[in-house]
Structure formats: C-alpha cells, structure tokens
Structure 1
Amino acid sequence: MKPLLSVVIPARNEAQALPALLDDLAGLRASGAELILVDGGSSDSTCELALGRVDQILRVAPGRALQMNAGAAVACGEYVWFLHADTRVSAASLMRLHDVLSERPLWGRFDVRLSGQGPALRLIGAMISLRSRLSGIASGDQGIFVARQSFDALGGYAQIPLMEDLHLCKRLRSLARPRCLRPPLLTSSRRWEQNGIVRTVLLMWRLRLAYYCGVSPAKLARQYRRGSWL
C-alpha cells in the first residue's frame, strides 16, 4: 500500500546529529511512513548509522536541491516532508502533522525553535516563525511538506545553490497559503553559535534582500560560504 508520507532527509557529514532525528522518526516509520536518506558525499559514518533505520539510502553529488529532488523522485508517499538532518521532531509535532495531512492540504511548514540556550536564540526562532507566518515563505529548517502531485507539477526544487527553499515556497504560495504548524521543530543553532549571532543574522538578512533584488543564487552561495558581505 502506498504510504501517506515520505520523509526525505538530505545529509552530508551528519553522523553526530542524524541518529537523534532517526530516533524521533522511528515511530512514524513503524506506522507506515517512508524514510529516505539522501547523502551528498559524506566522509563520516552518516550512511552507516542510517542502515536499517531508513527505507532507502541514496548517494548523489552534494547540493541540497539536488539531494531533495533525488529523494522526492523515488518517494512513494502522497506527501513529501523535507527534514534537515540536524532537526529534532517532538511526538506532539508528529501528531499535529498527522492531523493536518488528513485534511489534504497543498503544503505547509512548522514553526521553528533554535537548540541553543539564551534569550537571543529564542528570539531569533520566534522571529523566523513570525516572518514565515506573515509572508507565507518558509526556510528549509522549518520542515516543508508538500503534496507530491503539486511538487512534481512545479518541477521540484530549482537546481540553484542557495535559496532553493524560498524559490519553491514562492511558487507554492501562488497556489495556496501554507499550513503553519505548531509545536515547533527544534533545529540546530550551530551556525549562529559558530559564526556569531549578530553576524549571522545580518548576513542572512543581506542575502535574502539581495535575492529578492535579483542577485544570482550562485553569487549568494559564494558569499554564504565565506560568511562575507556582498
């Protein structure tokens, strides 16, 4: 029987974070959901740790859009849920998703909370969630889920090196507003902690503004990797 939900997890060198997410999803898989890991050239034990805990392991070239499209291409579910490997999912979030999918929405996403401690990181998570609710645009950290038929009709994720999630959401939003779900997903705060909270926030704002002003995703990706200004 075709599953209602396929979970696609793009990963690269996520051996430290991935097992916790797979623990979170074990009950979902036992109830019939399909789990697909799409590895983008890991040099650690990411794939080995997933053996027996997912239904398929794909190995493709690195690139989040490429990885997610590869996973969606082999997914059997009526809905595809894209989850980053450093995400944590509560039982309450899974229950909420189950209830919403029974209503057959076109697409949706979750609110998000950052894993680190301190009021600044809590505020950032709250602002990401609020901005997404107002704009109808989600980031990849927010666990975007979409009806497979609609995803295929739009051609999936654009093969661009950055902002592929915003690009998909803009196209989906032209068809329907997203379902905005709580409780939030817990996503890693490592990039804020490693690069500095203020610097990371300013960089992300600058990259988004540049994208909306027409700067190419390839140029934005170079800036993002360097953590520098345009």
Structure 2
Amino acid sequence: MCIGISEGHPSKQRQESDPGGCGSCGLQPLPAPAVGPDSNFTTAFDCRRPIQEWEVPYLKALGQELRALRLEAGITQEALAVSTGLSSRSLRRLERGERRTRYTTLARLSVRLSHSSSPERARDLLDRLLTIAGPALAPESQYAERLDMRRERRARRQRDRWVSLHRVEIGPSMGGYGFERHTRSQRPGAGRVATKTYEVLRGPDGYRSKWTVADQFSTTSVPPNDRLLVQLLYDAWRS
C-alpha cells in the first residue's frame, strides 16, 4: 500500500504493484506506520499525515513549554517567529500543539529562548525540548538545505529593508491657512540614509500646496484675496 504521499496526491492509499515505488509519482512507498509511540517517522511525506491520537500529549506538552519559555523571555510570537525563520502562523500552531516540529526548528528556538550566548545552555534547553517532543518529533525535510537558503534570503531582506521615519513640524496658521514642514528619512540596513524635506500649505476646503525647501515659495496658486495673508504667514514661518 503506497501511503508515503503528501496530502491530496491522487494515488494516496493506492495499491501499487511496482515494489520499487509509486508508478504515478515515483516516490518510495512507506509501510503503514504503527499506531502508538513506537512508530517511526522515516520521511517528510510520512510527517504530513494527520496528527494521530497518541501524538497529541507530546505536542501539547511541547507547545505549553515553548509558550512558557517565550513568555518568560518577554518575547512576542511575531518577534520570535522572525528571529527563528518561522511564520507567525506556524509558531502559533506549535504553541497550540497542532503542528509537528523538527530537530533543526527546536535548535533555533532553543538558541533564541535560552537567554544566553552560552552554547551549553542552549544545548541543555534543546535536550529538554527534544525529551518533551519524544517520538512525535518530525523527521528532517529532504529539502533542508533549500529551506536554509530561503531563510538566509529572508533574513537578508529583513536587514536591508528600508525603515521610514516621518516627522512633521506644525507652523503658524490663520484664516484657515497653515504651514507644515515634513521630514522623511529612509534608512536601509546597510546604513545609508536618504532624507527628504518639504513644506506644505494647507488651506480651507481641502486646499493643499507642496514644495521642497530648496524651491521658491509662490502664492500664485492661492486665491488673490488671501495671498497677502499667506505671504505674511510664510515670512513668519521661515524667520
């Protein structure tokens, strides 16, 4: 019986006459796993099976321990997920005991949750988590190297992403008109800083005019009856 197929595969649970593998997908067939803690997960396809009843206590205990360690460290789920290369959804499911996890994932979590740069402490924590996970620990993915490369790319994008800061200075206002100075700074992880400063004139009925500090301010777009007032406000603003 070929059951070593990922969920949704058309030949799942299909009797295969070819002993070398599944004729439809070429995957090696797996023996039906035993029900109980003595069963062994041998491939990543096997770990995609629905969680069995005997696994639930192990996964629940592991999830409770991970949650307790995270709260003790004062780390949010989002921050822990980003720092360990997991998605927030995956971490939530781990803490609820709804997902199997692998040795490498627990190793990354141990380093982050150990509160120390000491490898020995992280190793002790990893051993504890592995003991709690017991036989419900999932096998390593056959694409582990590819997944590591993907995590490295994700971490590099996170380091290089632009951080935008927006500061607004409110100037004088009168007669429904008011000035503002906006400063936007964008900083990528590489350390470069790009700063842009511009000024805005806001007026009644949603009127808005924008120009950079290097440009010459002009009241030509302001209604004629309000130009003198706006010019006086601007002179006071720049003085």
Whether TM exceeds 0.5 here: the answer is no
Q: Bigger relative contact order, structure 1 or 2, given CA contacts below 8 A and separation 6+?
A: 1
The interval holding the TM-score normalised by the smaller chain is under 0.3
State which structure, 1 or 2, has the greater radius of gyration over its C-alpha atoms.
Answer: 2
